[in-house]
Chain A
Amino acid sequence: MTAELPLNDIAPGTWKPNRGRSETIQLIIKIICGAFATISILTTIGIIGTLIFEAFSFFGNLPSELSKDSEQVSYMQGVIHFLTAGRWTPLFASKQFGIFVLISATLMITFISILVALPLGLLAAICLSEYASPKIRKVLKPVLEILAGVPTVVYGYFALLTVTPFLKTFFPVEGFNSLSAGIVLGIMITPMVASLSEDAIYSVPQSLRDGAYALGGTKRETVWSVVLPAALSGIVSSLILATSRAIGETMIVTLAAGANPTLGFNPFVPVMTMTAYIVQVTKGDAPHGTIAYQTLYAVGITLFLITLALNIFSFWFVRRFRQKYD
């Protein structure tokens, strides 16, 4: 006969887990987290909903604004006018709503800023990750991130009061122009490009570098032909993020590029970007309910769609081209 093992020999009352209370706490935590998640989702839906609703009423009112006594304008023609007209004058007596006037200014300034930020940011990233000693990297990386936190109004004044006068000695630029705004915007997003690209380059596994060196690669060949291509998806996505940032940037372009809606790609003359227009109207030039007020939402949704498209592209690109190293 085998003796019963004294498994249940523990003194009663030693272990008394308070299951009831921990379940209540669990429930409360769930409710609080759920509430915050709901609030943030509702806010987003609310903003996008307002944008869409007001933009729709803009396009609803557009035909009557454009119609003259002799001819009626359809909704479709209104949209076509919005996309193709060569002037943007919602605040004038003879109103025209060619959004491309504002888009062209935004695109030109963004393009100039990328021309500045791509080489500067990428070179800084390469130097930091491949050539700087670990000590220097440890100091410079946080400095870069601090630089990204300089208020944009400071950059705006820098563009207006320092860069534009300097440019005047070389080019026939006017007091407000996209060249100065673009260059300073480029300087502003350079730390972002540098920091994110550096992360991408730094995370290329050492084994790839070793592989290239072991084949008789020099440092230059290893960096340019193996490391950079391997980091490409991260570099491109940093660039797209910076582009989004540049497109949405407001202060620098409002201060340095002017408020003069001009179609075309002349970098020396004053222009008006989408964001600068939004500032102008929001500051109170247009009464609530008028078509001029509603243009705010039409421009807003255009801006939103452009950055959304960029972000979707970036998301797709990264998923398509990211290398998986385990």
Chain B
Amino acid sequence: MQDIRNQTMTDTALKAEKISVYYGSTLAVKDVFLDIPRNQIVAFIGPSGCGKSTVLRCFNRMNDLIPSARVDGNILFDGENIKRFDPVELRRRVGMVFQKPNPFPKSIYENIAFGARINGYQGDMDELVERSLKGAALWDEVKDKLKESGLGLSGGQQQRLCIARAIAIEPEVILMDEPCSALDPISTLKVEELMHDLKMQYTIVIVTHNMQQASRVSDKTAFFNAQATEAGGKMGYLVEYDETQVIFSNPREEYTRDYVSGRFG
């Protein structure tokens, strides 16, 4: 019995069951069903405004911080409904990296120590900072200037600092919302390589508008689209979710085929 439970726990990290999100009275995303397998990379693709970020923010309850937002449906994390979690505890276990690098206006060292400290880390802080920066492939570039401000780094370095900051508190899942959209191609490549390494330890969900990136880094891909509503707005929905290779070579839906071949979006 215990074995079976553990089995399911290791298979699925996050499970979205009929998620709909409203901003005020507007329905932004409708009826999303999605299983995020453990230790895999799942990519969200789709035209902008179709609700990729909105769905991503459901997984760590960041939508709670937007006063007008309301989430219907259930999300299970390790088999347990996230509504039953303290959002603070949930966010420690489900980390997030944002579209625009947002290091704190503190030293590089403090950027990483902050999260550890507020979560009651008892171990050796120097060691944790070094390990996290190495994990984010940033250590060699900053090891001599840990006391300098994180804002002094280049955009690509800042984003890797944010990844280091996220992995420092040892989450189980990392959500990334277009983490490379503000980066140059070389920094993008570094972050992509990093994701491959991180996969061993973490489950990753990445939103990207770059289809090559999705096909390069992910195991599974979810394609979102938006349809016009009677009210004149747009409503996002999940069109198709499958192995990345299937989505890019032999999708079921016409829309997906058109999108991945660059015919719209």
* B114 CB contacts on chain A under 8 angstroms: 212, 215, 225-226
A210-B65, A221-B118, A324-B151 known; A215+B102 contact, CB < 8 A: no
A167 interface hit (Cβ, 8 Å) = no
Q: Is the CB of A216 within 8 A of B105?
A: no
A44 interface hit (Cβ, 8 Å) = no
A255 interface hit (Cβ, 8 Å) = no
* B162 CB contacts on chain A under 8 angstroms: 211
Q: Is the CB of A230 within 8 A of B118?
A: no
Q: Is the CB of A214 within 8 A of B95?
A: yes
Q: Is the CB of B91 within 8 A of A207?
A: no
Closest to B95 in A: A214
Q: Is the CB of A216 within 8 A of B102?
A: no
A217 interface hit (Cβ, 8 Å) = yes
Tell me the minimal C-beta distance from A91 to chain B in angstroms. 53
Q: Contact mask B90-129 → A, CB, 8 Å, 1/0?
A: 0110011010101111100000001100110000000000
A208 interface hit (Cβ, 8 Å) = yes
Closest to A230 in B: B105
A214-B91, A215-B118, A216-B115 known; A207+B98 contact, CB < 8 A: yes
Interface residues of B in 153-206 (CB under 8 A from A): 162, 165-166, 169
A216-B89, A225-B114, A226-B114 known; A211+B102 contact, CB < 8 A: yes
Q: Is the CB of A217 within 8 A of B151?
A: no
A134 to B62, CA, bound (A): 19
Q: Is the CB of B62 within 8 A of A214?
A: yes
Tell me the minimal C-beta distance from A223 to chain B in angstroms. 12
Q: Is the CB of B118 within 8 A of A217?
A: yes
Interface centre among A211, A216, A229, A323 (most CB of B within 10 A): A216
A216 to B91, CA, bound (A): 5
A226 to B102, CA, bound (A): 12
* B151 CB contacts on chain A under 8 angstroms: 323-324
A68 to B100, CA, bound (A): 75
Interface centre among A205, A226, A324 (most CB of B within 10 A): A226
A214-B91, A215-B91, A225-B114 known; A207+B62 contact, CB < 8 A: no
B60 interface hit (Cβ, 8 Å) = yes
Q: Is the CB of A216 within 8 A of B104?
A: no
A225 to B110, CA, bound (A): 11
* A230 CB contacts on chain B under 8 angstroms: 104-105
B246 interface hit (Cβ, 8 Å) = no
A210-B102, A211-B162, A230-B104 known; A216+B62 contact, CB < 8 A: no
Tell me the minimal C-beta distance from A231 to chain B in angstroms. 10
A218 interface hit (Cβ, 8 Å) = yes
Tell me the minimal C-beta distance from B53 to chain A in angstroms. 12
Tell me the minimal C-beta distance from B23 to chain A in angstroms. 16
Partner among B65, B105, B115 whose Cβ is within 8 Å of the Cβ of A215? B115
Closest to A207 in B: B102
Q: Is the CB of A216 within 8 A of B119?
A: yes
A217 to B119, CA, bound (A): 8
Partner among A205, A216, A229 whose Cβ is within 8 Å of the Cβ of B92? A216
* B89 CB contacts on chain A under 8 angstroms: 216
Q: Is the CB of B65 within 8 A of A211?
A: no
Q: Is the CB of A208 within 8 A of B104?
A: yes
Q: Is the CB of A215 within 8 A of B169?
A: yes
Q: Is the CB of A207 within 8 A of B92?
A: no
A218 to B120, CA, bound (A): 13
* B88 CB contacts on chain A under 8 angstroms: 216-218
Partner among A211, A213, A324 whose Cβ is within 8 Å of the Cβ of B104? A211
* A221 CB contacts on chain B under 8 angstroms: 118
Q: Is the CB of A213 within 8 A of B105?
A: no
Tell me the minimal C-beta distance from B69 to chain A in angstroms. 13
Tell me the minimal C-beta distance from A36 to chain B in angstroms. 40
A213-B65, A214-B62, A215-B92 known; A208+B102 contact, CB < 8 A: yes
* A213 CB contacts on chain B under 8 angstroms: 62, 65, 91
Q: Is the CB of A216 within 8 A of B169?
A: yes
* B102 CB contacts on chain A under 8 angstroms: 205, 207-208, 210-211
* A225 CB contacts on chain B under 8 angstroms: 114, 118
A208-B104, A229-B106, A323-B151 known; A214+B169 contact, CB < 8 A: no
A-B contact pairs, 14 of them (CB 8 A): A205-B102, A207-B98, A207-B102, A208-B105, A212-B114, A214-B95, A214-B166, A215-B115, A215-B119, A215-B166, A215-B169, A216-B89, A216-B92, A323-B151
Give residues in A with beta carbon < 8 Å to B: 205, 207-218, 221, 225-226, 229-230, 323-324
- A-B contacts besides A212-B114, A214-B60, A216-B92, 6 pairs, CB < 8 Å: A207-B100, A210-B65, A211-B165, A215-B92, A215-B165, A216-B91
List the 3 shortest-distance A-B pairs measured between CB atoms, nearest first.
A216-B92, A215-B115, A214-B96
